Homo-oligomer: A and B are copies of this chain.
Amino acid sequence: MSQQQEPKYEGWAALAEDSIEGKLEWQEYKPKPFADDDVEMKIMYCGVCASDLHTMSGGWGRVDYPQVVGHEILGEVIRVGSKVTHVKVGDIAGVGAQSDSCLECGQCRKNREPYCDQGQTGTYAGTYKRDGPGKGAKSYGGYANYHRAPGHFVVKIPDGLDHALAAPMLCGGVTVYSPLTQYGAGKEAKDVGIVGIGGLGHFGLLFAKALGANVTAISHSESKKADAEKMGATRFIATHSGKEDDFKPYARSLDLIICTTNDESMPILGYLSLLRPGGNLILVGAPEKPLPPLPAFPFIMGNVHIGGSAIGSPKLIQEMLELAAKQGVKSWIEKRDIKDANQTVRDMKASKARYRYVLVNTANGGKL
């Protein structure tokens, strides 16, 4: 297999901070050298994640341009290294936001690869660090025609799951699925709140319900109330209603809150007041500025916690996809031809997504 012809990699490249204005350029690039534990696929679908925009604009920190973003990648496997056994050529497979880690530390051994002691390599804007032919190479994402990644981070898409709907679960879905399961949604955490009804938040509602929790949607206005109810919310809290205290009627009624907003003016003390003692408020959206000021007393008197959670391991992605297939969890997406990536980025920036854009590569078998 190692002698086979290299496909020609082309994708939408971010060349500078203003790429977020829809100035990506389609160009050829060189993927990491193929290693014997790698998987290569032709990309059929790629979800559009808020992280893509934070990265292309440098909002989360300096970026080494050019970058090809996109980390909800789904396609058909066209090549596997000699050490890869869990997928084969012709399979439909996916890659989420993580492309590599040391695979040896305590975190990696516990299927907690996103928290690798050596730091993770993102699916884009990262650098491969493990020994092998890829060492030192940059990672490139899925607004492209092909993708190559270490096999450990490639999951097989289960039968019965629509491929376009599965793509955005690979990052957006697992980013909420991971804390939902870590903190016991539907088990010890019966009552779950989801802050923010966007790309991540809509997955929060869908998966909290699929896990058997009673679901409360928490949003600044009531504009998405009907949608949230269709996604599984049985209660809706509008936090900017103008009433004296929007939170008071709901005090101590939740065990777990997944906070997907990246609005740094979020009423975080109000969210904490919704938690029962022992409860957790888990941040998965990352504001670029610090959180609002926090006094110690609400933590002490309420035994409540603020924590955070990053994406999810390949094992967790697999588990989530199987649950989605079994329960018929359906992402709310809008498909866009990959040719229209720049318009899609502009629409995403304008918060028009309802609730996730998926780029479709019809040349590779994707269906619009």
Chain A residues with a Cβ under 8 A of chain B:
106-107, 112, 114-115, 117, 252, 262, 276-278, 280, 283-287, 289-291, 293-310
CB distance from A188 to the nearest CB of B (A): 12
Q: Which residue of B lies closest to A291 (CB)?
A: B294
CB distance from A285 to the nearest CB of B (A): 8
Contact call B303/A305, Cβ cutoff below 8 A: no
CB distance from A105 to the nearest CB of B (A): 10
Contact call B252/A303, Cβ cutoff below 8 A: no
CB-contact partner of A306 in B117, B286, B306, under 8 A: B306
CB distance from A263 to the nearest CB of B (A): 11
CB-contact partner of A115 in B106, B302, B306, under 8 A: B302
CB distance from A313 to the nearest CB of B (A): 12
CB-contact partner of A296 in B277, B287, B302, under 8 A: B287
Contact call A112/B277, Cβ cutoff below 8 A: yes
CA distance A293 to B283 in the complex (A): 16
CB-contact partner of A301 in B294, B297, B308, under 8 A: B308
Contact call A307/B305, Cβ cutoff below 8 A: yes
CB distance from A253 to the nearest CB of B (A): 11
Contact call A300/B310, Cβ cutoff below 8 A: yes
- By a CB distance below 8 angstroms, the chain B residues around A115 are 277-278, 301-303
- By a CB distance below 8 angstroms, the chain B residues around A298 are 308
CB distance from A204 to the nearest CB of B (A): 15
Contact call B307/A303, Cβ cutoff below 8 A: yes
CB distance from A310 to the nearest CB of B (A): 5
CA distance A297 to B309 in the complex (A): 9
Q: Which residue of B lies closest to A287 (CB)?
A: B296
Contact call B295/A306, Cβ cutoff below 8 A: no
Contact call B284/A300, Cβ cutoff below 8 A: yes
- By a CB distance below 8 angstroms, the chain B residues around A308 are 296-304
CB distance from A282 to the nearest CB of B (A): 8
- By a CB distance below 8 angstroms, the chain B residues around A286 are 296-297, 300
Contact call B293/A280, Cβ cutoff below 8 A: no
Contact call B302/A291, Cβ cutoff below 8 A: no
- By a CB distance below 8 angstroms, the chain B residues around A252 are 117
Contact call A290/B300, Cβ cutoff below 8 A: no
CA distance A294 to B306 in the complex (A): 11
Contact call B280/A291, Cβ cutoff below 8 A: no
CB distance from A348 to the nearest CB of B (A): 20
CB-contact partner of A307 in B285, B297, B299, under 8 A: B299
- By a CB distance below 8 angstroms, the chain B residues around A117 are 252
- By a CB distance below 8 angstroms, the chain B residues around A310 are 300-301, 303
Q: Which residue of B lies closest to A252 (CB)?
A: B117
Contact call A294/B294, Cβ cutoff below 8 A: yes
